[in-house]
Chains A and B, each alone.
Chain A
Amino acid sequence: EAGVTQFPSHSVIEKGQTVTLRCDPISGHDNLYWYRRVMGKEIKFLLHFVKESKQDESGMPNNRFLAERTGGTYSTLKVQPAELEDSGVYFCASSPLGDGAIEQYFGPGTRLTVT
């Protein structure tokens, strides 16, 4: 079974440009999460989709970040315009719906560098 995939694996853009990251969760996983790790810091939660609905977007840093999950399958995270502090590794994770603590499966991440 294919795991969580993310595209691109690396992206280098200039400040002010736009970047769109994509995440394909494990097939059948209704929960989809975005996390981010900036240099020297811990991995931090950005937001959580249940199917196509945003369940919790409390971790989104500001309105330059827009996440979508049309159709409840893959998700995109767009940063527009990018700033230097947006550099980091963006992880996507997915899990099935359920009660209790359900393991989240992480993708390999997208390493974003804003110059």
Chain B
Amino acid sequence: RKEVEQDPGPFNVPEGATVAFNCTYSNSASQSFFWYRQDCRKEPKLLMSVYSSGNEDGRFTAQLNRASQYISLLIRDSKLSDSATYLCVVNKITGGGNKLTFGTGTQLKVEL
């Protein structure tokens, strides 16, 4: 079983739609949680951190449920520029740094 599980998609949605991605993780010792965005043939870039209280950044809302080991990302009013792969990432803090564990990613295609 993978440590971080995501639906690979693709999710094809029209511009303006709301889309939600989910992710589960298996290691209960995971300490921090993130969504990264990766454009085609580019490096991953941090989209947002995820907290139990939920956090929002513009059109993006992330939520963590530690009891269920479940992470979500909601994108409202999706734009063409949101088309990318969204990576669910969990983290264990070790020795002054962080060891990131990635999901395989969920591909989003926003269409006209």
Could you tell me which A residues sit within 8 Å of B by CB distance? Answer: 30-31, 33, 35, 41-45, 48, 50, 55-56, 91, 95, 97-104, 106-109
Decide if A106 touches B99 in the complex (CB within 8 Å). Answer: no
Instruction: Please tell me the number of chain B residues within 8 Å of chain A, measured between CB atoms.
Output: 26
Measured between alpha carbons, how far is A45 from B66 in the docked complex, in Å?
23
Chain B residues closer than 8 Å to A45, beta-carbon distance: 99-101
Decide if A35 touches B100 in the complex (CB within 8 Å). Answer: yes
Closest Cβ neighbor of B103 among chain A residues: A42
- Knowing A91-B43, A91-B44, the reply to whether A104 touches B4 (Cβ < 8 A) is no
Decide if B97 touches A95 in the complex (CB within 8 Å). Answer: yes
Chain B residues touching A, majority SS? strand
Chain B residues closer than 8 Å to A109, beta-carbon distance: 43
Measured between alpha carbons, how far is A43 from B45 in the docked complex, in Å?
13
Judge whether B1 is part of the interface by a CB distance below 8 angstroms.
no
Chain A residues touching B, majority SS? loop
Chain B residues closer than 8 Å to A43, beta-carbon distance: 44, 87, 100, 102
Decide if A55 touches B95 in the complex (CB within 8 Å). Answer: yes
Residue from B4, B96, B99 within 8 A of A97 (CB atoms): B96
Q: List 19 A-B contacts (CB under 8 A).
A: A31-B96, A33-B100, A35-B102, A42-B2, A42-B4, A43-B44, A43-B87, A43-B100, A44-B102, A48-B97, A48-B99, A56-B94, A56-B97, A97-B97, A101-B34, A101-B49, A102-B97, A103-B46, A109-B43
Measured between alpha carbons, how far is A99 from B91 in the docked complex, in Å?
13
B78 CB to nearest chain A CB (Å): 24
